[in-house]
Amino acid sequence: MYTDKVMDHFTNPRNVGEIKQADGVGEVGNAKCGDIMRIYLQVENNIITDVKFKTFGCGAAIATSSMVTEMVKGKTIEEALEISNQAVAEALDGLPPAKMHCSNLAADALHEAIRDYHEKHK
């Protein structure tokens, strides 16, 4: 059902935790499936230097959270904004159709964290 990459990111998630003095925090949830994701960003000179996540949810939700943190580390804010829901799923070599909504949450949480960053650093 799950690809090897999904299983790897689920069983060995990267960047788990929180950043106490985060420059941006985004949280999203899906009441239908019960998944809740929070992404924390540390930004220096417009570059995402650190990113962490906390996720309550299924294996796909954890895997997509882990993958999105790997995808944005070292990127500019503008580059990170270009990461789409589909890009997260593709980076994991796909998700089962019933779990595609989980990849949407990872990208949405990232975009919320960037929005929060912009609000704090106008």
Residues 6+ apart with CB under 8 A from 80: 48, 72, 110, 114
* Catalytic site residue from 7, 16, 19, 33: 33
* Cα(30)–Cα(40) distance, integer angstroms: 19
Token pair belonging to 99: 């779990």
Is 58 considered catalytic here?
no
Give me the catalytic one of 77, 102, 106, 107.
Answer: 102
DSSP per position, 25-64: EEEEEETTTTEEEEEEEEEETTEEEEEEEEEES-HHHHHH
33 in active site: yes
Active-site residue numbers?
Answer: 33, 102
